[in-house]
Amino acid sequence: MTPNLPYLRVQARNGEFLVRDGLSLCFYMRQPHEDIAAAVMEALAHYLRAVGESALGWYVDPEGDWQELDAAGWAYIHQHMRDSSPLLTLKDTPGGAGPYRFEYHGKSPHTPLVLQEPDAVSAVEFWLPTEILHERGSPWVRELALELGARLPFTSGHVGLSFNALDQLAGVSRELLPWCFRHPGMSPRESERLSWKLGTRVPGVHWLTFLSQPVLGELGGASGLRARLVSPGISVHELDPQRVLLTLGAEPDAGDTSSGHPLPLHREVARLLEPWLFHRPLPWGGFSPEDLRRWERRFLD
């Protein structure tokens, strides 16, 4: 069946995009921010080499305002990475949901908020436009994900089609609700929320799913995964003895429940990973608790 890549754009009255289809590359790390800061900056540098230095031109300053990412802006970014539990947001334009974005949610274990959250992790997220699948191909995206993952000491990670949205704005999350259930292979943006609660759990099943310890060991390592995942469209790539990448099909697929396109490869992996999947304690804006449970179990029920 031909992969489904929906075109989705929701605009505000001023013409800026509130929601757009895209690709999200996320990695979650249990190590203290101080131990991974250099690796995160190396991954950011590699992302910019891949997509072009001009892809990110703005950043959020300490007051929450957008500033141009010039030499002074980069000096601020490098300085801020020396702080405890830094939050970085860089994007292509100061307004709307653009095609390129970088976020980092660092966690230092000695800071008061992190001390209250034993399952807090550091999270890093990179955005790509869906159009890049046509321009450079799915193998290029997968290779970029592998190169980023090689630089990051992740516990888990994932790459797939996503709703790249300004979901902090009132009403935007509600706008996503019907699309989430129609296209089960797409995910809302949630790296910040997950960074406070994820721990070593797996956030879900995506086109690319990165696994590390302790989950990988409990699954029997790469050989155990290969023995239990039998569909020919699923590949298990061993990065090293402690980490693997699961790939579901040759390219990402949103699925479409309205036309009977249920993503069977995702369902096979979800059944295997079910004991280790993360259950979100609170619904997103616009999602009721029932909606959230139904969405989390979309590959299981």
pLDDT tens string 247-276:
999 999 999 999 988 899 999 999 999 999
Identity of residue 27? F
Spatial contact of 1 and 261, defined as CB atoms under 8 Å apart = yes
Q: How far apart are CA 192 and CA 18, in angstroms?
A: 18
The answer to whether residue 50 is domain-embedded is yes
Containing domain of residue 180, as a range? 9-296
Query: How do residues 140-198 score in pLDDT, each as one tens digit?
Result: 999 999 999 999 999 999 999 999 887 766 667 778 889 999 999 999 888 999 999 99
The answer to whether residue 4 is domain-embedded is no
Total structural domains within the chain:
1
Q: How far apart are CA 301 and CA 297, in angstroms?
A: 6
Diameter of the chain measured on Cα atoms: 53
* Residue labelled with tokens 């960074």: 195
The answer to whether residue 1 is domain-embedded is no
Does the pLDDT of residue 105 top 70, yes or no?
A: yes
The answer to whether residue 129 is domain-embedded is yes
160-169, 204-213, 236-245, 249-258: which range is least confident on average? 160-169
CB-count exposure of residue 147 (10 Å: 0-12, 13-18, 19+): middle
* Confidence grade of residue 11 (pLDDT, cut at 50, 70, 90): confident
The answer to whether residue 67 is domain-embedded is yes
Q: Pick the residue with more confidence: 84 or 202?
A: 202
Query: How do residues 126-144 score in pLDDT, each as one tens digit?
Result: 999 999 999 999 999 999 9
Does the pLDDT of residue 112 top 70, yes or no?
A: yes
Helix axes 289-296, 172-182, angle to 10 degrees: 40
Q: Which of 8-17, 33-42, 279-288 has the highest mean pLDDT?
A: 33-42
Q: Mean per-residue pLDDT for 68-81?
A: 96
Residue 95 pLDDT: 83
Within 13 A of 63's CA, how many CA atoms are on the CB side? 3
Q: Could you tell me the pTM of the whole model? A: 0.95
